[in-house]
Structure 1
Amino acid sequence: MNAPVTIELPVVVIGAGPTGLAAAAHLVQRGIEPLVLEAGPAAGAAVREWSHVRLFSTWGEVVDPAAEKLLAPTGWSKPDAGTYPSGGDWADLYLKPLAEALGDKVRTGARVTGVSRTGRDRIVDADREAQPFVVHVEHADGREERLFARAVIDASGTWTIPSPAGGSGLPALGERAAAGKITYRVPDLKDPAVRARYTGKRTAVIGSGASAFTALAYLADLAKSEDGAGTKAVWILRRGISGSTFGGGTADQLPARGALGLAAKAAMDDGHADAVTGFRTEVIERDGDGRLVLVAEDGRRLEPVDEVIVLTGFRPDLSFLSEIRLGLDERLQAPTALAPLIDPNQHSCGTVYPHGHRELAHPEQGVYLVGMKSYGRAPTFLAMTGYEQVRSVVAALAGDIESADRVELTLPETGVCGGAGLFDAPEADQTSGGCCAPAPQLIQLGASAPAEEAAAGGCCGS
């Protein structure tokens, strides 16, 4: 069977999340046929899994301009731009109608299992770039299909592969065996069954980002409720407490993001959470009562906990791209030209340098990783970043290089300075900034703690 002529083929978009659907909207606007393949049962399937969590971006920041134009003729009404949607709101009020507007250009229950060049594995050079992409798909009913594409935009995100509790990047010993008491998502404490799981319990929260802040705030609210007596959180940090630990606070240009960190600090100030610093989990054991005991790589053992919430980030699934020639940073698993701009060893404040199709390009021309997946293991991705990425990428695919190169992206500053790179530096180097706790210890930030201890100008990530 001869492969179809490439120019007549659609651009396959993997993932019907916010960035993938935005890519499809931009392709339609450019007169290019998109085909969006979504593994889940509906558009925004991953977003729906955290439907109870409120975004720290407003509606005005999470609606793509091209998508809004596509929705306008349908009678869609944009929610108040200054309000904050939950994940469920985002999925129901924007992603669902956008997928409906795209019609049969979106296929759900279609999991991509492989991408390659037609008749060429990753080794073969001969006539490679003249061949269309071939995309292997497994449907929910078990049926297999192969599709041809002129280009592939992978917007599948990283939601399906959460990072483990283990400080080495590998699951801690005993982590898999303790799976029944561990979750890798922010729990929905409005769900009665989930609420009962944490009520009156001692819960370890491992992680230092916005998700960890959210979990700590939720557990504190539970502790303060009528039925929440005995609820306690233990916040596990791999580094020390510093001025940047709780995020940008009032200096954050996204106020709701800054408020998350302040809520986590309030949980500790009010005695609903304690912090264990410099703790890198190596083993998870069970005591005689079936509770979990976290053991650090230095041998320290924590008091038993009933539950563990692991919020240490996510990783990209690159398995189905094994026959594609990708150029990825060896640490972040992000495109090599993008990685220095988002490296958490260097960046956690200011803005991300404007980037588009050139920074997202790979040795295999015509394939792009966009959205959260483009960041690999780096955190702090914003929806508006993905929207600008796909605008530039689609312009490049349309041959409008002038527009593709005219990337304009200004992200709100976090108010947090310093990256994560100093956490393994010698103590003498760390003290120059006067911000990082040099020795692991249990800290309770109560009313007796001086305010400036948590608010001091910081240099080290948490």
Structure 2
Amino acid sequence: MTDFALADLPVAVIGSGPVGLAAAAQLVRRGIRPLVLEVGSSVAAAVAEWGHIGLFSPWKYNIDVAARSLLASTSWQEPDGEHLPTGDELIRDYLIPLAETDGLRDAILTDTRVVAVSRVGLDRTGTAQRESTPFLVRTQNSDGTTADFQVRAVIDASGTWESPNPIGQSGLAAPGEVEARRSGFVTSPLPDVTGRDREHFAGRRTLVVGGGHSAANTLLALAELRAEVPGTRIGWVLRRADPASVYGGEDQDGLPARGALGARLRRLVEDGAIDVHASTTITGFAADGGGTVAAETGGESVTLHADRVVPATGFRPDLGFLREIRLDLDPVVEAPQQLGPLIDPEYHSCGTVPPHGARVLGHPEPNFYIVGMKSYGRAPTFLMYTGYEQVRSVVAAIAGDLEAADRVELDLPETGVCSTDASDAGGCCGPAEPVVIGIPTGTEHGRSGESRND
């Protein structure tokens, strides 16, 4: 295939969440045809899973510049810039209208899971003419039908929602955990406690496992339910010795909604509404998949009783379908090698990670990029607005405009106090607590190499 023919191929974007659709919009702005591959039955399927959760970041930080340009030619009305949307509002008032624009409508394939990425006729060991050989993206839909697509570049914005961290210690699933998840005893990371999933929690005993904002959101929702249904009981399991660090900056936080979250949680703990199990590690689940949870507190074995367990222990990237791609990953956080030290939660919060683009996100595989939450691997410090800057730079690089790719066009606002110890599904900017633009994020992982699921 000639270079001219290669340039005529589309660019694959894996995932149609906020960052994936922003990448597609940037491609359209550059005159490059996008091919957006979404595993769900509709755009932003992962966001829909936590749609009941409110973001910490107002609308003015949630809309990509290129996306806004596409929407400007439609009847779309931009939301109030100061309003804090929920995930459902993010989909309804921004992502669906964006997906329905002329530039993107025919570019998005839903119910399409990417199962492998390679090069046409080459596995990862083949070097000759690799850069001039199209990518081969293999997909599978829900009925098992497979299809192969040839593309000129790949932008993986698939996120981490489908790869939750295990509840057990040492980064491993606790005995019986897989079965407990399968039975529903262990729920999704961000259940809709007061809405869709209410019947599973009302009047029941729930253990929330995790020490970040996503855990805090679920605890607050359970407390709200408890006020309506007094028999509802709440337990909070975290590995740290003192829950105070979870409260964050409270009234000193630069994002008031996030600060209020910590203040409310502190009051509930102090009032005894939440039974705190500090310095506790989950070590096993009952053989029948429910009822009791084995744990260890201060070196002693204990048994905790629950009807449901909520795993707010964060996520990790799914790298399985990239086996034939040449990746260069940080050995600790599983982010691109150059990005890893910049986002390590041992040393950085969401307010200290510098804007970055194609050069930092690059891999030995030419024209392949991981962006968005997945680019942060196991680190919880991702900001959606940072993801928009990532894809602007990446698309510029794919288009050959290296000057634009190297130019920083992002001026992050002050995010205030931001925990560097967030082992949850939201980290600094996730659904339960988006900080300048939120998406389910992170995990807790330090340079010590130990994955800490508190």
Report the TM-score when normalising by structure 2. 0.87
Q: Which residue of 2 aligns with 1:188?
A: 192
Write the distance in 1 (CA, Å) between the matches of 2:411 and 2:331: 26
Please give the secondary structure, in 2, of the residue aligned with 1:403. helix
Write the distance in 2 (CA, Å) between the matches of 1:199 and 1:322: 44
Q: Which residue of 2 aligns with 1:208?
A: 211
Listed one character per residue, the Cα deviations across residues 297-352 of structure 1 (whole Å, up to 9, x for unaligned) are 83421442222111100111111111000111122111111111111122236421
Q: What aligned pairs does 1:112-151 form with structure 2 within 5 A after superposition?
A: 112-151=114-153
Q: Which residue of 2 aligns with 1:7?
A: 7
Q: Is the 8 A contact 1:362 1:368 kept in 2?
A: yes
What's the CA shift for 1:264?
1.9
What's the CA shift for 1:290?
5.8
Q: Which residue of 2 aligns with 1:59?
A: 59
Q: Is the 8 A contact 2:292 2:305 kept in 1?
A: yes
- The alpha-carbon distance between structure 1 residues 4 and 311, as it changes in their structure 2 partners (threshold 3 A), is farther
What's the CA shift for 1:285?
2.9
Number of equivalenced pairs: 420
Q: Which residue of 2 aligns with 1:359?
A: 360
- The alpha-carbon distance between structure 1 residues 4 and 112, as it changes in their structure 2 partners (threshold 3 A), is farther
What's the CA shift for 1:29?
0.7
- The alpha-carbon distance between structure 1 residues 338 and 311, as it changes in their structure 2 partners (threshold 3 A), is same
Out of 409, 413, 416, the position equivalent to 2:415 is: 413
Please give the secondary structure, in 1, of the residue aligned with 2:302. coil
Listed one character per residue, the Cα deviations across residues 199-235 of structure 1 (whole Å, up to 9, x for unaligned) are 222211101111101001001111112xx11222111
Write the distance in 1 (CA, Å) between the matches of 2:173 and 2:53: 26
Q: Which residue of 2 aligns with 1:271?
A: 272
What's the CA shift for 1:411?
5.1
Listed one character per residue, the Cα deviations across residues 94-116 of structure 1 (whole Å, up to 9, x for unaligned) are 11111111110111111111111
Please give the secondary structure, in 2, of the residue aligned with 1:233. strand
Please give the secondary structure, in 1, of the residue aligned with 2:176. coil
Q: Is the 8 A contact 1:388 1:409 kept in 2?
A: no
Write the distance in 2 (CA, Å) between the matches of 1:207 and 1:420: 9
Q: Which residue of 2 aligns with 1:46?
A: 46
> Structure 1 stretch 135-144 or stretch 16-25: which is displaced more?
135-144
Q: What aligned pairs does 1:49-448 form with structure 2 within 5 A after superposition?
A: 49-101=49-101, 102-179=104-181, 180-191=184-195, 194-225=197-228, 228-241=229-242, 244-285=245-286, 291-296=291-296, 298-348=299-349, 350-407=351-408, 408-410=410-412, 412-416=414-418, 419=421
Please give the secondary structure, in 1, of the residue aligned with 2:22. helix
Q: Is the 8 A contact 1:292 1:307 kept in 2?
A: no
What's the CA shift for 1:88?
0.9
Q: Is the 8 A contact 1:111 1:137 kept in 2?
A: yes
**Ranges in structure 1 where 5+ consecutive residues have no aligned partner:** 422-459
- The alpha-carbon distance between structure 1 residues 211 and 7, as it changes in their structure 2 partners (threshold 3 A), is same
- The alpha-carbon distance between structure 1 residues 19 and 405, as it changes in their structure 2 partners (threshold 3 A), is same
Q: Alpha carbon RMSD of aligned pairs, Å? A: 2.4
What's the CA shift for 1:3?
10
- The alpha-carbon distance between structure 1 residues 419 and 311, as it changes in their structure 2 partners (threshold 3 A), is closer
Q: Is the 8 A contact 2:280 2:296 kept in 1?
A: yes
Write the distance in 1 (CA, Å) between the matches of 2:417 and 2:242: 16
- The alpha-carbon distance between structure 1 residues 397 and 390, as it changes in their structure 2 partners (threshold 3 A), is same
Please give the secondary structure, in 1, of the residue aligned with 2:13. strand
- The alpha-carbon distance between structure 1 residues 461 and 17, as it changes in their structure 2 partners (threshold 3 A), is closer
Report the TM-score when normalising by structure 1. 0.86
> Structure 1 stretch 166-175 or stretch 233-242: which is displaced more?
233-242
Listed one character per residue, the Cα deviations across residues 391-440 of structure 1 (whole Å, up to 9, x for unaligned) are 1111111222222111234254341466589xxxxxxxxxxxxxxxxxxx
Write the distance in 1 (CA, Å) between the matches of 2:234 and 2:250: 21
What's the CA shift for 1:362?
0.4
What's the CA shift for 1:243?
5.0
Q: Is the 8 A contact 2:169 2:453 kept in 1?
A: no
Listed one character per residue, the Cα deviations across residues 112-171 of structure 1 (whole Å, up to 9, x for unaligned) are 111111111001112211211111122344332111111100000011111111022111
Percentage of pairs with the same residue: 50
**Ranges in structure 2 where 5+ consecutive residues have no aligned partner:** 424-451
Listed one character per residue, the Cα deviations across residues 264-284 of structure 1 (whole Å, up to 9, x for unaligned) are 222212321122222121212
Write the distance in 2 (CA, Å) between the matches of 1:93 and 1:420: 29
Please give the secondary structure, in 2, of the residue aligned with 1:358. helix
Q: Is the 8 A contact 1:245 1:461 kept in 2?
A: no
Write the distance in 2 (CA, Å) between the matches of 1:59 and 1:349: 18
- The alpha-carbon distance between structure 1 residues 204 and 417, as it changes in their structure 2 partners (threshold 3 A), is closer
Equivalent residue letter for 1:322: R
- The alpha-carbon distance between structure 1 residues 113 and 461, as it changes in their structure 2 partners (threshold 3 A), is closer
Q: What aligned pairs does 1:30-45 form with structure 2 within 5 A after superposition?
A: 30-45=30-45
Write the distance in 2 (CA, Å) between the matches of 1:79 and 1:107: 27
What's the CA shift for 1:182?
1.1
Give the number of the structure whose alpha-carbon radius of gyration is greater: 1
Write the distance in 1 (CA, Å) between the matches of 2:292 and 2:72: 53
Listed one character per residue, the Cα deviations across residues 63-103 of structure 1 (whole Å, up to 9, x for unaligned) are 11110110111111011111111111111111111111111
